[in-house]
Amino acid sequence: MQELSVRHLLGIKDITPQDIQLIFETADNFKDVLNRPIKKVPSLRDITIANVFFENSTRTRLSFELAEKRLSADVINFSSSGSSVKKGETLLDTVNNILAMKVDMIVMRHSSPGAPHFLSKHIPANIVNAGDGTHEHPTQALLDSFSIRERLGEVAGKKVVIIGDILHSRVALSNIFALQKQGAEVMVCGPITLLPKYIQQLGVKVETNVRKALEWCDVANVLRIQLERQQMKYFPSLREYTLYYGIDKKMLDSLNKEIVLMHPGPINRGVELSSDAADSHHSIILNQVENGVAIRMAVLYLLAQRG
Amino acid sequence: MQKRLIVNHQLLEIMVMRLCHQLIENHGDFSDSVILGLQPRGKYVAQRIQRTLASILGKQVPTGLLDTTFHRDDFRRRDTPIAANATKIDFLVEGKKVILVDDVLYTGRSVRAALDAMIAYGRPASVELLVLVDRLYTRHLPIQPTYVGRQVNSLLSQRVLVEWKEQQAEEDAIWLVTKTDE
């Protein structure tokens, strides 16, 4: 298998374990490229990619843009602020106008779940979902697993707990799919109000005590509280959340084993993670960011190959 | 499919030995020289050359592996995509005399991609090309080898196959393979 089974990367749900393996093997080679004196290959020099961001982003957008440039693609950037979206243009019209300028691939972030799926049915370009509302964020889940594989050798058989605002997290859902497809055990942990009601049906364990969750796991992926998506109060105060669900170095050191600590960013220091935990030797947060570029290069390269 | 043996294992050993002596003529004690095997199949040739040189000179010549996948000019133009292989170069190419090593020289496109890929590791003092088999009159680009094991006249529909024991082949050998309509 040297080709992806899909033309678009809309979500981890749609891809096979073999696809994930292929992406990882390709990313290994791109990681090597990124450590050379000249960090650029000419593979995508005849491809134009539009980064279409209808929602704020720093890391993901920079990471995609860097990946595209390292592959020698031509890049155009679009963000909804200051665009005709504010003047009432529909999503399909906006994207079709971009495509009329001969663009081959679209990297899109949108606040509505399913927006990239809708587009994929109507336009000929390859689409990469860079986050659709509270639904999926496939490249984040891929780089998370890739980082676990790098630190622990393999993902299969590992116990991973995702802690925090599961209800509003696209990172959580994509991670659950990705980890399960690779044979890892997944647990979610958070206040009961921030856990989706039927989450057990995905085959994950549920825990509300963060200490018990940490004692169970090999890897803890800690999420941010997404206040901007919360339309009602799910817990009394951030201070109370920190008191019950915040993780600090003392807690990590008191476990009778080494665990790996991850965070997709942006971190709210002092809320879900204390500074000494985020900067401790347990943490692979900056490795995740580094691996993000290699993973995105692999995804873009393999999708371009499909045409 | 018909397979015709063109070089058997004894001849191949002599051939590698001769190529190594030709290398020594030009590179002396290899103090500024490095070997780069082109992935995937040049790897075995490079390893064999390194081992043979070690038996003559008593020293290991720095040998790396270069993958050209991301530098090829047929991306999106091939029917079957090729998978990337590892690049392993744990030395600087800058200022070195580089010997690129592959098994078969055919259109010359892999070598062009290899030159491109190698430049990403620095500016070499000079670059030479060593191949076991040079297929005559098949080049798409103006690329010629510096050291040749054997020149072979072949049809475009034929394929030259180099097999090594390291790849679980029975014996080291070079074959000319003709596809037949079955």
Tell me the count of A-B CB pairs closer than 8 A: 52
Q: Do the Cβ atoms of A33 and B76 come within 8 Å?
A: no
Question: Which of B76, B82, B91, B109 is the best mutation test for A, with the most CBs of A within 10 A?
Answer: B76
Quickly state the pLDDT bin for A145 (edges 50, 70, 90). very high
| Cα–Cα distance, B6 to B26 (Å, whole number) | 28
Strands lying side by side in the sheet with A159-163: A205-207, A185-189, A159-163, A219-222, A260-262
Q: What whole-number percentage of chain B has pLDDT above 70?
A: 99
**In this predicted structure, which of B60-74, B80-94, B105-119, B147-161 has the lowest mean pLDDT?**
B80-94
CB A41 within 8 A of CB B125: no
Residues of A in contact with B122 (CB under 8 A): 37
pLDDT of residue A7: 95
Q: Do the Cβ atoms of A26 and B84 come within 8 Å?
A: yes
Residues of A in contact with B80 (CB under 8 A): 2
Provide the residue ranges of all domains of chain B, joining segments of one domain with +.
11-19+30-73+83-150
The chain-wide mean pLDDT, for chain B, equals 93
pLDDT of residue A80: 79
> For residue A78, what are the CA distances in angstroms to A60, A61, A64, A68?
14, 11, 13, 15
R_g of chain B computed on alpha carbons: 16
**Chain B residue set in contact with A, beta carbons under 8 Å:** 67, 69-71, 75-76, 80-87, 116-117, 119-122
Provide the residue ranges of all domains of chain A, joining segments of one domain with +.
12-136+289-306, 138-285
Binding residues of A for carbamoyl phosphate: 59-60, 109, 137, 140, 265-266
Structure token digits, residue A77 = 């950037």
CB B140 within 8 A of CB B109: yes
Minimal CA separation from A29 to chain B, in Å: 6
| Cα–Cα distance, B11 to A145 (Å, whole number) | 49
| Cα–Cα distance, B87 to B104 (Å, whole number) | 19
Structure token digits, residue A23 = 């992406």
Helices A285-306 & A17-34 angle (0-180, nearest 10): 110
Full DSSP string of A77-118: EEESTTSGGGGT--HHHHHHHHHTTT--EEEEEESSTTHHHH
Q: Do the Cβ atoms of A305 and B81 come within 8 Å?
A: yes
Residues of A in contact with B117 (CB under 8 A): 41
Q: Do the Cβ atoms of A29 and B86 come within 8 Å?
A: yes
pLDDT of B13-28, one tens digit each? 999 999 999 999 999 9
Quickly state the pLDDT bin for A83 (edges 50, 70, 90). low
| Cα–Cα distance, A173 to B10 (Å, whole number) | 60
Full DSSP string of chain A: --S-S-SSB--GGGS-HHHHHHHHHHHHHHHHHHTSSS----TTTT-EEEEEESS--SHHHHHHHHHHHHTT-EEEEEESTTSGGGGT--HHHHHHHHHTTT--EEEEEESSTTHHHHHHTT-SSEEEEEEETTS--HHHHHHHHHHHHHHHS-STT-EEEEES--TT-HHHHHHHHHHHHTT-EEEEES-GGGS-TTGGGGT-EEES-HHHHHHH-SEEEE----GGG--S-SSS-HHHHHHHH-B-HHHHHHSSS--EEE--S---BTTTB-HHHHTSTTB-HHHHHHHHHHHHHHHHHHHHHH-
pLDDT of A221-236, one tens digit each? 999 988 888 778 888 9
Is B26 exposed, middle or buried (CB count within 10 Å of its CB: 0-12, 13-18, 19+)? middle
Which among A17, A84, A29 is positioned nearest to A54, based on CA atoms?
A84
The correct CATH number of B11-19+30-73+83-150 out of 3.40.50.2020, 2.60.40.10, 3.90.330.10, 3.40.50.720 is 3.40.50.2020
Task: Judge if the upstream peptide bond of residue A116 is cis by omega within 30 degrees of 0.
Answer: no
Beta-bridge mates of residue B174: B7, B162
pLDDT of A184-207, one tens digit each? 999 999 999 999 999 999 999 999
For B26, the 3-state DSSP assignment is helix
pLDDT of B86-99, one tens digit each? 888 888 899 999 99
Structure token digits, residue A105 = 């691939």
Between A3, A33, A307, which is nearest B70 by CB? A33
Q: Do the Cβ atoms of A305 and B76 come within 8 Å?
A: yes
Q: Do the Cβ atoms of B86 and A36 come within 8 Å?
A: no
Between A2, A41, A307, which is nearest B83 by CB? A2
Quickly state the pLDDT bin for A156 (edges 50, 70, 90). very high
Q: Do the Cβ atoms of B69 and A36 come within 8 Å?
A: no
User: Does the structure show a pLDDT above 60 at A1?
Assistant: no
pLDDT of residue A82: 62
Class of CATH domain A138-285: alpha beta
The chain-wide mean pLDDT, for chain A, equals 93
Residues of A in contact with B116 (CB under 8 A): 42
- The pTM of this model reads 0.88
Mean pLDDT along residues B73-82: 82
Minimal CA separation from A155 to chain B, in Å: 21
Q: Do the Cβ atoms of A37 and B81 come within 8 Å?
A: no
Mean pLDDT along residues B15-43: 95
Q: Do the Cβ atoms of A2 and B69 come within 8 Å?
A: no
For A196-203, the CB contacts below 8 A with 24+ separation are A196/A166, A196/A167, A199/A166, A202/A176
pLDDT of B4-14, one tens digit each? 999 999 999 99
User: Does the structure show a pLDDT above 90 at B119?
Assistant: no
User: Does the structure show a pLDDT above 70 at A302?
Assistant: yes
Within 10 angstroms of residue B135's Cβ, the number of other Cβ atoms is: 21
pLDDT of residue A57: 86
The reply to whether A25 touches chain B by the CB within 8 Å rule is yes
Structure token digits, residue A232 = 């009602």
Q: Do the Cβ atoms of A25 and B121 come within 8 Å?
A: no
Structure token digits, residue A95 = 């994207």
Minimal CA separation from B84 to chain A, in Å: 7
The reply to whether A26 touches chain B by the CB within 8 Å rule is yes
CATH architecture of A12-136+289-306: 3-Layer(aba) Sandwich (3.40)
